[in-house]
């Protein structure tokens, strides 16, 4: 049994009512032709990634109409009868090539850096989650990414073509942000992050957290999604207005309050490693929405409402070695998650497989 990392111990830290004060970064300013304006925004972005590993992005390239439409599709999908969703069932397997399709409540279970099968089995009982997800990779025909499990068009007409559009929009924003991050890091070749992610093997999770009693969440007996860090490079997280997402700032978990029109962006393990701990792959979780609890009429025996989120996980090409970027040799504040009592030199695919192996 390996030692439990720092991250794991913190996974049970308390939650604060005070929201995380991460900044809203204006995408248009990141692209501004005036160096002065760009510089201020770059500095804010860098500071936020050093502190939280998270930031809000406003004024970005994906229209709010399209985001709203994505959430409507998500609801339509999860509302389908079980027999239909079962046509694209995610197998009970943690192999990368099986990480596709509908994972019913109870199948997927997130834990943080626990690589021992017996321990994970125990955590499934002691820290259950309540969620359904639809997992998918690149929806376009390609030879790099394992094929998706796709519903026949008749079961949800229009969904498959929307998925392609959504994928393209997320990929475009991701690539643009990777280029910006290369500039913020002042890499000699600021396209390095994009080059390492040339193969379009990123991943989208559509998450649905069904309504449930609030008590197990407020008693800290259960989470909608357990505390974890993301595996990859830069994650784009679209959340609805329900709330409950929390980020760990090194002391405690703080609410990441939903802000309409923004996408939450966060650093994953690979980017933390590549920046040598300058940027943080932060623990985050989904707990009870604080907004609900502070209402005057809050009744502890009540339920929390359905919650939806859509997450685009940026992932480096499978064979890319995940190691410090040239120019990032100096250690940052955070000890990268990807340094441990395993072989330190790892490809993106090896890390992904290690993190995914016991999740399903
Ligand atoms: O649902 C959320 O807001 C968080 C999702 C998340 O962190 C994940 O799927 O990795
Ligand atoms: Fe996450």
The atom of ligand 1 lying closest to the CA of 307 is 1
Question: Strands 212-213 and 307-313: what pairing?
Answer: unpaired
ipTM (interface pTM): 0.99
Residue 351 pLDDT: 94
- What is the model's pLDDT at position 1? 31
The CA 122 to ligand 1 mean position distance, Å, reads 22
In 21-58, which positions are buried (b, 16+ CB within 10 angstroms) versus exposed (e)? ebbebbbebbeeeeeeebeebbebbbebbbbbbbbbbb
Give the model's pLDDT for residue 295: 61
Residue-level pLDDT at 201: 95
Its sign, for the CA torsion 226, 250, 55, 96, is negative
CA dihedral 45, 265, 127, 333 (to 10 degrees): -30
Q: Give the angle 273-276-280 at the CA atoms, nearest 5°.
A: 70
Tens place of pLDDT per residue across the chain (360 aa)? 333 344 444 455 678 889 999 999 999 999 998 888 899 999 999 999 999 999 999 999 999 999 999 999 999 999 999 999 999 999 999 999 999 999 999 999 999 999 999 999 999 999 999 999 999 999 999 998 999 999 999 999 999 999 999 999 999 999 999 999 999 999 999 999 999 999 999 999 999 999 999 888 888 889 999 999 999 999 999 999 999 999 999 889 999 999 999 999 999 999 999 999 999 999 999 999 886 656 666 676 788 889 999 999 999 999 999 999 999 988 999 999 998 777 678 999 999 999 999 989
Tokens for 174, please give them: 């991701």
In ligand 1, the atom with minimum distance to the C-alpha of 209 is 1
Nearest to 139 by CA among 171, 159, 158, 164: 164
What is the number of domains present in the chain? Answer: 1
* 51, β-bridge pairs: none
| Domain annotation covers residue 54 | yes
Residue 90 lies in a domain: yes
Q: Which residues pair with 313 in a beta bridge?
A: 203, 235
Is 344 part of any domain? Answer: yes
Question: Residue 335 carries which DSSP code?
Answer: -
Predicted local confidence at residue 344, as pLDDT: 72
Q: How far is the CA of 42 from the centre of ligand 2 (A)?
A: 24
Q: Ligand 1 atom closest to Cα of 207?
A: 1
pLDDT confidence of residue 2: 35
In a domain, 1, yes or no: no
Q: How far is the CA of 239 from the centre of ligand 1 (A)?
A: 8
Give the whole-angstrom CA distance, residue 248 versus residue 280. Answer: 10
Query: What's the pLDDT score for residue 221?
Result: 85
Local structure of 268: helix, strand or coil: coil
- Which residues have CB under 8 Å from 129's CB, separation 6+? 108, 109, 110, 222, 223, 224, 225, 226
Quick check: CB of 239 below 6 Å from ligand 1? yes
Q: Give the domain CATH number at 125.
A: 2.60.120.330
Strand 284-286 to 245-248 pairing: antiparallel
Ligand 1 closest atom vs CA 235: 10
Whether residue 246 contacts residue 15, with contact meaning beta carbons closer than 8 Å, is answered with: yes
Tell whether ligand 1 has an atom less than 6 A from the beta carbon of residue 207: yes
N-to-C CA span, the chain = 20
- Ligand 1, from 236, 254, 282, 284: best to mutate by most atoms within 8 Å of Cβ? 284
DSSP state for residue 15 in the 8-state scheme? B
Domain assignment present for residue 314? The answer is yes
Residue 355 CB–ligand 1 contact under 6 Å: no
Phi and psi of 103, rounded to 5°? -105, 110
Q: Classify strands 54-58 and 24-26 as parallel, antiparallel or unpaired.
A: parallel
pLDDT of residue 14: 76
Please report whether residue 77 resides in a domain: yes
Q: Which residues surround ligand 2, an ion (CB under 5 A)?
A: 230
The answer to the question of residue 162 being in a domain is yes
**Ligand 1: does its nearest atom lie under 6 Å from the Cβ of 62?**
no
Q: Write out the H or E segment, with its range, that includes residue 1.
A: none
Report which ligand 1 atom has the smallest distance to the Cα of 264: 3
Distance of alpha carbon 207 from alpha carbon 309, whole angstroms: 5
Exposed e or buried b per residue across 303-321, where buried means at least 16 C-beta atoms within 10 angstroms of its C-beta: ebeebbbbbbbbbbbbebe
Indicate whether 104 belongs to any domain: yes
Boundaries of domain holding 61? 6-356
Instruction: Determine the distance separating the centroid of ligand 1 and the alpha carbon of 251, expressed in angstroms.
Output: 20
145: left (phi over 0), alpha (psi -120 to 50) or beta: beta
Under 8 Å CB-to-CB from 280, ≥6 apart: which residues?
49, 50, 51, 52, 53, 267, 272, 333, 334
């Amino acid at each position: 049994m390996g030692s439990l990392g720092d991250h794991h111990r913190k996974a049970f830290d308390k939650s604060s009512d005070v929201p995380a004060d991460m900044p809203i970064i204006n995408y248009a300013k990141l692209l501004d032709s005036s160096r002065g304006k760009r510089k201020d925004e770059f500095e804010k972005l860098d500071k936020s990634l050093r502190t939280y590993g998270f930031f809000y992005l406003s004024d970005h390239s994906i229209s709010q109409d399209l985001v709203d439409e994505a959430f409507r599709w998500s609801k339509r999908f999860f509302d389908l009868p079980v027999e239909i969703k079962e046509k694209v069932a995610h197998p009970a397997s943690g192999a990368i090539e099986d990480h596709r399709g509908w994972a019913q409540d109870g199948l997927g279970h997130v834990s943080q850096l626990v690589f021992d099968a017996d321990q994970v089995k125990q955590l499934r009982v002691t820290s259950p989650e309540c969620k359904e997800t639809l997992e998918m990779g690149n929806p376009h025909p390609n030879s790099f990414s394992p094929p998706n499990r796709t519903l026949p068009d008749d079961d949800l007409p229009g969904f498959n073509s929307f998925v392609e559009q959504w994928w393209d929009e997320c990929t475009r924003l991701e690539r643009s942000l990777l280029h910006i991050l290369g500039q913020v890091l002042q890499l000699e070749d600021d396209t390095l992050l994009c080059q390492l992610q040339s193969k379009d093997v990123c991943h989208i999770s559509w998450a649905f957290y069904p309504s449930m009693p609030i008590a197990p969440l407020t008693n800290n007996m259960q989470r909608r999604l357990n505390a974890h860090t993301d595996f990859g490079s830069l994650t784009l997280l679209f959340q609805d207005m329900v709330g409950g997402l929390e980020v760990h700032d090194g002391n405690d978990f703080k609410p990441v309050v939903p802000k309409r029109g923004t996408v939450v962006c966060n650093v994953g393990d690979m980017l933390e490693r590549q920046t040598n701990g300058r940027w943080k792959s932060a623990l985050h979780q989904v707990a009870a929405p604080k907004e609900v609890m502070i209402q005057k009429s809050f009744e502890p025996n009540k339920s929390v409402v359905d919650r939806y989120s859509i997450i685009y996980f940026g992932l480096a090409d499978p064979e890319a070695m995940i190691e410090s970027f040239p120019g990032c040799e100096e250690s940052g504040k955070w000890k990268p998650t990807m340094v441990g009592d395993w072989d330190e030199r790892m490809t993106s695919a090896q890390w992904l497989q290690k993190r995914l192996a016991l999740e399903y």
